[in-house]
Amino acid sequence: MNFKLIKNMEIKSNLKTLAIVGALSSATTLGAYKLFLEKSPSDSVFTNTPSAFTRLVSDASPMPAGSPGEFTYAAEKATPAVVHIKTKMTRNVSRQMMDPFEEFFGGNPFGGGGNRRQPEAQEASGSGVIISSDGFIVTNNHVVQDADEVSVILNDKRELKAKVISTDPSTDLAVIQVKSSNLPFLTFGDSDNIKVGEWVLAVGNPFNLESTVTAGIVSAKGRQNIIDRDKDVNPLESFIQTDAAVNPGNSGGALVNLKGELIGINTAIYSRTGQFAGYSFAVPVSIVKKVSADLIKYGNVQRGFLGVNIQEVNSKLVEEKDLKVNDGVYVGGFPAGGSAAQSAGLKVNDVIVKVDGVGTPSQSKLMELVGRKRPGETVVVTVNRDGAIKDFNVVLKNKDGNTNIVKGETASSVSSDYLGAKLANLSENDKAKYKIQGGAKITEVDPNGRLGYQGFDKGFVITKIDEKAVADAKEVAEILANRKGRVKIEGIDVDGTRVIMVL
């Protein structure tokens, strides 16, 4: 497990086919600290704790950088902050059940036998990057997704239990935490200014081989449409492509420059076999900083939206729309119900060429730049309108059309004696993952209850009861309270399978 595969690739596995890559790094914590993101104080997650969000100001000397072909400096800085992540989970699998009537009498006049879903314990592993001295770790969402237990093996061989703080499927990032102090951590580098051809190192734990370092170059930037995420919405992809060798188990590790700074979280490989075949892909640290800060501070990712229907400019579009620019992002329309960009003055047929002074030659770059901002923040959008360059100050909105910051859901459990289970409301990530508006997730199952007897474990999502859609855990519990007789339940299992059962 723990690989994220490129679209249309097929491999066989006991778990979901995933492909991931990884690297890790650390930083010396000396002298006074100053906020790294000076222009965005809201990103200051750690105020008194040494972390990737802070930097040294007492040492005026520049950080020494490795020379091309000399990787020992970066490797020595990176490996202490790379961790090995192990997870345990339960998957429900179908098993052919023996019918005692068939075995002893050659048949069962009442029917019986067939398949029954049974829980099966499974394990997986990946990598992670320590970003604060008190134990916050960035990894991939798919490394810890649906895990019942998460443990972290540090570079000094200590093994600690970890708590999943929050996850973001749209970027395949997650933050976990271990209880410790004075841990080595990696400082954030600058993924915007890395150049194609620049040397980089990938550090992680492929094949359960701890602290493995490989070298390569940046072979491309801004790659998109890499991972098949048909159950996700609003995926944010602008991958760094490298040829540093990564393999299963590297997922969630770090991509570092020759200064030993984190410039990306290794996430995917191009492969027809599940093994490295020449290319790997990392989420740039410009996205990692924003997402990890939001997950720690708010419990979910705060995304600002321009509110535009966009299309990448190409020669056909230039001719068809008589555009006066050959690259950028074309504004084709605005969604119903209002738009931040439209309110600021943008029009159909505008071509967005910059955001906050940074060029937007592609959709992925535009989405990356806007994705770094939160609702309520202002961006300067530069457009080419019939050959004239115009700037617009756009106040970004959230997906609901306002500028509110939305905290992550912390729903308490509701018990159902009928099911023999506890339920909780769905998170926004759950709704996005399964493309549903409501329902209730099973968080605990009594093995002797109705659900437990059928082999269902926690993670199953109930969407309908007796053909009626349910909104949340409370509604499920109320419908089933004092219920007698059979009930038809529809839902989604942890692997995405749609299930209909009569209890």
CB 185 within 8 A of CB 45: no
Ligand-binding annotation for 315, yes or no, is no
**Residues identified as active-site:** 142, 172, 251
Residue carrying structure tokens 């924003």: 290
Dihedral sign of CA atoms 156, 22, 188, 376 in order: negative
Distance CA 417, CA 483 (A): 9
Distance CA 38, CA 55 (A): 11
pLDDT tens per residue across all 503 residues of the chain: 444 544 333 333 333 333 333 322 233 222 323 333 334 444 567 767 888 887 543 333 344 455 555 799 999 999 999 999 999 987 655 555 555 545 555 555 545 444 555 667 788 899 999 999 999 999 999 999 888 899 999 999 999 999 999 999 889 999 999 999 999 999 999 999 999 999 999 999 988 777 899 999 999 988 876 666 554 445 677 899 999 988 888 999 999 999 999 999 999 887 667 667 778 899 999 999 999 999 999 888 998 999 999 999 999 999 999 999 999 999 999 988 779 999 999 999 999 999 999 999 988 889 889 988 999 999 999 999 999 999 999 999 988 788 888 766 544 568 888 888 888 888 776 787 788 888 888 888 888 888 887 777 778 899 999 889 998 888 888 888 878 778 889 988 877 788 888 87
The amino acid present at 266, given as its one-letter code, is N
Q: Is 332 exposed, middle or buried (0-12, 13-18, 19+ CB in 10 A)?
A: middle
Whole-structure pTM over 0.75, yes or no?
no
The per-residue DSSP string of 148-199 comes to SEEEEE-TTS-EEEEEEEEEETTTTEEEEEES-SS--BPPB--SSS--TT-E
Return the SS3 of 41. helix
Tell me the two tokens of residue 487.
């009930």
Ligand-binding annotation for 142, yes or no, is yes
The per-residue DSSP string of 75-138 comes to HHHHGGGEEEEEEEEEEEEEEEPPPHHHHHHS--TT---SEEEEEEEEEEEEEEEE-BTT-EEE
CB 243 within 8 A of CB 217: yes
In this structure, how many other beta carbons lie within 10 angstroms of the beta carbon of residue 60?
6
Distance CA 116, CA 503 (A): 13
pLDDT at 7: 37
CA 503 remoteness from chain centre: 35
Domains and CATH numbers, the chain: 63-85+136-297 (2.40.10.120), 309-395 (2.30.42.10), 414-502 (2.30.42.10)
CB 52 within 8 A of CB 256: no
Tell me the two tokens of residue 207.
């094949």
Residue 382 CA: distances (Å) to CA of 328, 355, 366, 368, 391: 10, 6, 11, 16, 4
Which residues make Cβ contacts (< 8 Å) with residue 48, sequence separation at least 6? none
Distance CA 483, CA 442 (A): 18
Distance CA 167, CA 177 (A): 12
The helix or strand, by DSSP H or E, that contains position 381, with its residue range, turns out to be strand 378-385
pLDDT at 148: 85
Distance CA 402, CA 234 (A): 18
CB 222 within 8 A of CB 365: yes
* Geometric angle at alpha carbon 248, from 280 and 133, rounded to 5°: 85
pLDDT at 20: 34
Ligand-binding annotation for 84, yes or no, is no
Which residues make Cβ contacts (< 8 Å) with residue 75, sequence separation at least 6? 201, 203, 213, 260
The amino acid present at 96, given as its one-letter code, is Q
Across the strands, what pairs with 469?
Answer: 464
The amino acid present at 115, given as its one-letter code, is N
How big is the chain, counted in residues? 503
| In 217-361, alpha helices (H) | 285-297, 315-321, 340-344
pLDDT at 438: 87
pLDDT at 405: 80
Which residues make Cβ contacts (< 8 Å) with residue 180, sequence separation at least 6? 134, 135, 154, 158, 160
pLDDT at 308: 94
CB 128 within 8 A of CB 288: no
Q: List the one residue out of 91, 79, 74 whose CA is nearest residue 13.
A: 91
Ligand-binding annotation for 249, yes or no, is yes
Across the strands, what pairs with 41?
Answer: none
